[in-house]
Structure 1
Amino acid sequence: MRLIMLGPPGAGKGTQAARLAERLGVPQLSTGDMLRAVVAKGSLVGLAARDVMARGELVGDDIVVNSVLECIAEPGAASGFILDGFPRTLGQARALDEALEQARLGLDAVLELKVVEAVLLDRIIYRAREAKAAGQRVRSDDNPEALKVRLEAYQTQTQPLADYYRTAGLLHTVDGLMPIDQVTSSLFAELRLLTPVAGSLHLTGDI
């Protein structure tokens, strides 16, 4: 099963993607993980990504897209994958569509977590507080100022993807403000609606 997780920063995409990946037996591919993977491989794309990151610059769409394509071409992703944090722009989405079409593959669904932006700040502050209490590293962007910038970028660059995938008949939206377990159950309920894919995965029960 090939899935994309959509939602603003703090919506819980990473948590839910990890749960889905474990249940479905497919890899969860986040943008950061994919970039690190291609850098570790030492491919031409990886070397280009390494140089850009070493300069402290944002990795361009061309490198990100090629990194994703390398990762989904790996044997471990042959039975499917869950993309977490990609695509972020319409350009990336179209490039992914073209690559999958050339490989005679397609997406099964795009799962969107809808949340109220006012709640996201509370989540980000709580996440930072929990990490600090546990002696873990607090993400540098887990603060109100950074969240505002990230949300603005999401609204202008990533939110249009919802309309793009809705038009393609792939978008499935779930209330991301529910308790974590209920969100997971709702996501699986959406996946059960997919046929014949859902029947082949025996998605019964909740989580």
Structure 2
Amino acid sequence: MGFDHGVRLRDECRKSLGESVRARLEELTGQTLGWYAMEDRSDPGDCCKAVVFGERGLCTAVSRIDTEHRPVYTITGYLLDPTSFRSIEIDYRPTPDRDTAVPDGSEVLGVPGGRELISGLTATVLRVLGNSPPKAQELLQAPFLRGQQVQEQDCGWHYEDSEHHLRVFVVFRAGHRDVTVAVGRRVVPVGHTQRTAHWSLRCYRASVVRHIGR
């Protein structure tokens, strides 16, 4: 997991979206459970994009050029069934000498008893997934292992701070029926490596009731 120095952090990027965009994201998603905003390197105007996950939805705001050649924000995403939410806390604290701890991103553990992975994921997505605790990997993948497709644009992640302390870590997967999200932080204590880092995460799963902006 690399770090880009000099880029704007999520608070600054969020402010650049504008009040109306932030308000619309909040309206669609409800009480926020996890979010990030970041520079969009694919945008020629250096605009930022944002992802917000809440009790009613998972939505993404991305800048586009309208018919009058002006930058505007479009919002896409998934509206969720509030009664379908399930979540679990993961407190992962391996000892410094645990050689079987989280891989360095070179592999993804898949599900217990097999090596099955979600189809359609890029190598970059797999590396980010491969750095998370085994239980988080399992929970993030579980709904998508039986034919539910995930496209590259339906996967996202963000982390920031330093390699020894990720104060912000958010990753999501979305399909036509389910959404999974992990939100939390990672610390590499003294005497540990990234392979034996300590994680504090909450993993969510919810059912999709409607797609918007697609």
**Which TM-score band (shorter chain)?**
under 0.3
Q: Which has the higher strand share?
A: 2
Which structure has more relative contact order (CA 8 Å, sep 6+)? It is 1
Query: Structure 1 length normalisation: TM-score?
Result: 0.24
Query: Structure 2 length normalisation: TM-score?
Result: 0.23
